[in-house]
């Protein structure tokens, strides 16, 4: 559970509310009976989890579909809980949800299509009723969201779709854009410098990491190092993002760019001003937190820093902007796509960016004030504000 005793005390969370938030509202576990050719290496049957952590501010419950060979039910529950607080912090009318398909994230598109079509068939009622609205996550993309739309024929049943079928211009890069916006504001606040004077290390070059790098580079940040699952590279004079993206497309990894190799662990310990873990959860732990040299961390991934590591970093004077604030650009854009899917209205990419920036920076200032007033970390302040919004909603619905 994300809420600790201090947050519960600050919020005045009563026992009934705490009980409702302590475990998921609903867990759906089923198996996909879809045969794939042996060369894909996919086990049979494929396990699938769909979790609704809390529908207090829903339905729908909102959260992406993760496809990974090592994803577990426990991880899916944790991710759904994160979505509950992220949506609440952003003041969105979404509950927290998440789905997981236990299969290799590197499967070719045609294999993913078979699995996602089976997924949509099995939970068709959840999708068409509006109980669950999925989006892309690790291992899935707009193409897989298009498969879901092809099964439901309801535009608001899924977000992160291609623009041609009702997707939102700017949704694909929304999370990375939001990370860059928050990083720029946090650098000014906590480092006392403009982002153009800040050195950056980024772990992860998937959707979030690559777009965060792109937008930060546009703002003049010096990106010294980037890694992905294969490893990475470092250039003290800064990395050209267009060159790196071209290299990654040709080689399938950023590892080896400029003839250099950098491990993910080495990246975390680099002497940079700003560190952005934007790959997977649990990468900064009590074992390596003491090696962190960055003074500012922006959580691009969900839960990349463990609770024990949090305490170590705080003792070292490292400022951390938590995931439910830093990477909320995606769910903010998803709300716009969902809402406009219902109304049939259109929007421009610049409008999407403006909405994300305004929403995130407004909440950022709110979190700063709460943190300063209560003398607590940004993570605790973010969770306390989100929990307050949830408590108010549950009281308004007569649940507690």
How far, in Å, CA of 362 to CA of 297, rounded?
20
Give the Cα separation of 141 and 84 in Å (integer): 22
Q: Round to whole Å and give the CA distance between 56 and 61.
A: 9
The alpha carbons of the chain give a radius of gyration, in whole angstroms, of 20
The whole-angstrom separation of Cα 310 and Cα 290 is: 11
List the beta bridge partners of residue 49.
29, 100
**Hey, how many other C-beta atoms are within 10 angstroms of the C-beta on 4?**
11
Q: How many CB atoms lie within 10 A of CB 72?
A: 13
- List b or e across 221-245, with b for residues whose CB sees 16 or more CB atoms inside 10 angstroms: bbbbbbbbbebbbbbeeebebeebe
Helix (H) or strand (E) holding 75: helix 73-89
Q: CA-CA distance, 228 to 203, in Å (whole number)?
A: 6
Catalytic residue positions, numbered: 98
Beta bridge partners of 297: 275, 320
Contacting residues for 266 by C-beta, under 8 A, at least 6 apart: none
The sign of the dihedral angle between the CA atoms of 388, 376, 183, 369 is positive
As given in the structure block, the two tokens for residue 104 are: 């290799």
Q: Using CA atoms in the order 112, 114, 117, 122, what is the torsion angle rounded to 10 degrees?
A: -110
Which of 96, 156, 153, 152 is CA-nearest to residue 119?
152
Indicate the SS3 state at residue 299.
coil
How would you classify the pairing of strands 95-101 and 46-54? antiparallel
SS3 label, residue 132: strand
């Amino acid at each position: 559970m994300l809420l600790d005793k201090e947050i519960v005390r600050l919020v005045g969370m009563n026992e009934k509310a705490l009980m409702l938030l302590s475990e998921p509202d609903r867990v759906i576990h089923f198996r996909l009976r879809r045969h794939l050719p042996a060369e894909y290496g996919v086990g049979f049957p494929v396990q699938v989890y769909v979790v609704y952590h809390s529908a207090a501010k829903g339905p729908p419950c909102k959260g992406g579909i993760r496809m990974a060979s090592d994803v577990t039910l426990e991880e899916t529950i944790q991710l759904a809980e994160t979505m509950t607080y992220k949506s609440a912090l952003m003041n969105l009318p979404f509950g927290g949800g998440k789905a997981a398909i236990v299969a290799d994230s590197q499967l070719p598109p045609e294999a993913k299509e078979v699995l996602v079509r089976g997924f949509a068939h099995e939970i068709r009622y959840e999708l068409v009723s509006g109980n669950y609205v999925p989006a892309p996550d690790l291992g899935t993309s707009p193409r897989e969201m298009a498969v879901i739309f092809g099964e439901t024929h309801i535009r608001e049943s899924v977000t992160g779709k291609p623009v041609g079928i009702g997707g939102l211009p700017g949704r694909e890069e929304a999370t990375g854009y939001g990370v860059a916006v928050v990083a720029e504001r946090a650098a000014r606040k906590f480092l006392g410098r403009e982002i153009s004077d800040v050195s950056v290390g980024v772990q992860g070059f998937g959707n979030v990491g690559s777009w965060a790098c792109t937008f930060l580079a546009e703002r003049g940040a010096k990106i010294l190092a980037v890694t992905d699952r294969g490893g990475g590279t470092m250039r003290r004079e800064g990395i050209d993002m267009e060159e790196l993206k071209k290299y990654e497309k040709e080689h399938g990894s950023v590892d080896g760019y400029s003839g250099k190799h950098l491990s993910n662990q080495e990246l975390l310990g680099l002497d940079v001003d700003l560190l952005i873990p934007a790959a997977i959860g649990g990468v900064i732990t009590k074992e390596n937190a003491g090696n962190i040299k960055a003074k500012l961390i922006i959580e691009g991934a969900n839960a990349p820093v463990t609770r024990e590591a949090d305490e170590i970093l705080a003792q070292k004077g490292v400022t951390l902007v938590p995931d439910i604030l830093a990477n909320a650009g995606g769910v903010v854009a998803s709300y716009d796509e969902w809402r406009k899917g219902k109304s049939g209205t259109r929007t421009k990419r610049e409008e999407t960016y403006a909405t994300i920036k305004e929403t995130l920076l407004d909440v950022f200032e709110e979190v700063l004030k709460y943190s300063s007033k209560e003398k607590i970390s940004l993570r605790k302040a973010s969770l306390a504000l989100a929990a307050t919004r949830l408590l108010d909603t549950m009281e308004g619905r007569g649940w507690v």
